[in-house]
Structure 1
């Protein structure tokens, strides 16, 4: 059980296990001092995002077995670097995000309003997002 918080102030929920994501490969967008890239945004990767990232030198598609990385496909849930997500947002290629699985530290890099624009897990009472 994690004590990490999400951007909504609640307990950080898992992001994805198929493929197994997270800097610590625990399925969560947990972070710590060794996570220099801050893999804190739980994204549902899209084709547009994967192409945009590949064009900027962040190849998330090609398998890298030496790192236990099978490569991502559209629809996969993945903990992406907050700065990379913001880069994609600025380029108009931001993928959807799961707010409940996005670490609170993400809003040190990405405005909460930008994440909310792309949220796919909006709660029944959206007023809790403010």
Structure 2
């Protein structure tokens, strides 16, 4: 059985829900929970924008195209999604980072992204 890391956000509080429509998270529980097996660190709760979705598709992770065989309708601007922390940082460095829900972003994101960058992009 996979053991989840404690559900604590980047502000030190209880990790809040990121998104239920579509259901997000490494564990598909709506939260940006993580564990040792989550190699991508799906810990940043981000609000999708058209600009970010185009960037993500360009760099090889198409989040906007529906994949019905996986029960995935595709993301649209305004949807909340648990992003890999490194992808968020890459988007930030390229000037197209989405907004972040700090209360729903797991503290493990801080292993990769500085809190100042997260706060700068706070929703």
After the TM superposition, list the runs of 4 or more consecutive aligned residues in structure 1 that deviate by more than 6 angstroms: none
Asked if residue 117 in structure 1 is aligned to residue 115 in structure 2, the reply is no
The root-mean-square deviation of aligned C-alpha atoms, in Å, is: 1.1
Give the structure 2 partner of residue 33 of structure 1.
36
Give the structure 2 partner of residue 105 of structure 1.
108
Give the drift of 1:58.
0.9
Give the structure 2 partner of residue 19 of structure 1.
22
Correspondence list, 1:55-94, <5 A: 55-94=58-97
Identify unmatched segments of 5+ residues in structure 1. Answer: 121-130
Distance 1:33 1:67 in 2: 24
Give the structure 2 partner of residue 96 of structure 1.
99
Give the drift of 1:111.
0.7
Correspondence list, 1:3-18, <5 A: 3-18=6-21
Distance 1:53 1:39 in 2: 14
Q: CA-to-partner distance for each residue in 1:68-114, whole Å, 9 max, x for gaps?
A: 21110000000000000000000000000000000000011011100
Contact 1:3 1:11 in 2 (8 A): no
Identify unmatched segments of 5+ residues in structure 2. Answer: none
Give the drift of 1:36.
1.2
Q: Secondary structure of the equivalent of 1:51?
A: helix
TM-score (norm 1): 0.88
